[in-house]
Amino acid sequence: MPDPEGQESRNAALEAFADTIIPGEKHHPDDRAVAGVSAGGGAVASGVIAVLESPEGGMAPALDDLARTLDEHAVRFRTEHGLPPDEREPFVGLRYDERLALVGELLAPEHPERAMWAGLAMFSFMAFDTGAHMHTADAIAAGHPGLAVLGFAPPGEDGLWRFPAYSYGRQLADVHPDTDPTGSPA
């Protein structure tokens, strides 16, 4: 049975994790998943849920578990830090600095689940840095927030990149004295 509410809270937890990795500005004033600690779009606005759900990425089957485990860690974190419980959204309900502290624990090299959380962090980055759920030329034309923050140059009319100006055009250092005629180290 589809469970729209469960889906929504699952996505909110995943978005809150992705927003901890690459933060952005709130979509609307009531946005709870995005903490709103950075100007411009972050991983969430860049399409992290679409990237995570894409069949190509391979993460889709794990997402329910990841969101549930994240909330379980948040429940524990709340107890350990004397924070009030939040039955509905234990992770989403944390402040940004609290999310950062918890995510920091999960990503620490010695954490037993590190590989899982590092994977989620990598896919969050990929949404932001590459918009891997879209053709790059389309993503740029649509104002993809991550590629815009990077300043990734737009392609030419045929959708390909070319940089006709590319060189300062002169010798800028002395070459190593032991360079052979092929240009290799002697």
157 makes contact with another protein (CB under 8 A)? no
Stretch 107-146: interaction string toward another protein, x if CB under 8 A: xxx-----x--xx-xx-xxx-xxxxxxxxxx--------x
> In this structure, are residues 34 and 19 in contact, taking their beta carbons and an 8 Å threshold?
yes
Of the ranges 4-12, 26-34, 68-76, 153-161, which one interacts with another protein (CB under 8 A)?
153-161
In the complex, minimum distance from the CB of residue 59 to another protein, in angstroms, rounded to a whole number: 8
Nearer residue to another protein within complex by CB, 9 or 21:
21
The whole-angstrom separation of Cα 8 and Cα 5 is 5
The helix (run of H) or strand (run of E) holding residue 106 is helix 96-107
Stretch 18-37: interaction string toward another protein, x if CB under 8 A: --xxxx-------------x
> In this structure, are residues 16 and 99 in contact, taking their beta carbons and an 8 Å threshold?
yes
Burial 119-143 (b: 16+ CB within 10 A, else e): ebbebbbbbbbbbbbbebeebbeee
Residues that contact another protein, how many (by CB under 8 A): 71
> In this structure, are residues 102 and 13 in contact, taking their beta carbons and an 8 Å threshold?
no
Of the ranges 6-14, 67-75, 84-92, 165-173, which one interacts with another protein (CB under 8 A)?
165-173
In the complex, minimum distance from the CB of residue 15 to another protein, in angstroms, rounded to a whole number: 15
Nearer residue to another protein within complex by CB, 57 or 68:
57
Query: Which of 6, 85, 104, 143: binder of another protein (CB under 8 A)?
Result: 104
The whole-angstrom separation of Cα 74 and Cα 80 is 10
> Left (φ > 0), alpha (ψ -120 to 50) or beta: where does 183 sit?
left
42 makes contact with another protein (CB under 8 A)? yes
Query: Which of 2, 4, 29, 183: binder of another protein (CB under 8 A)?
Result: 183
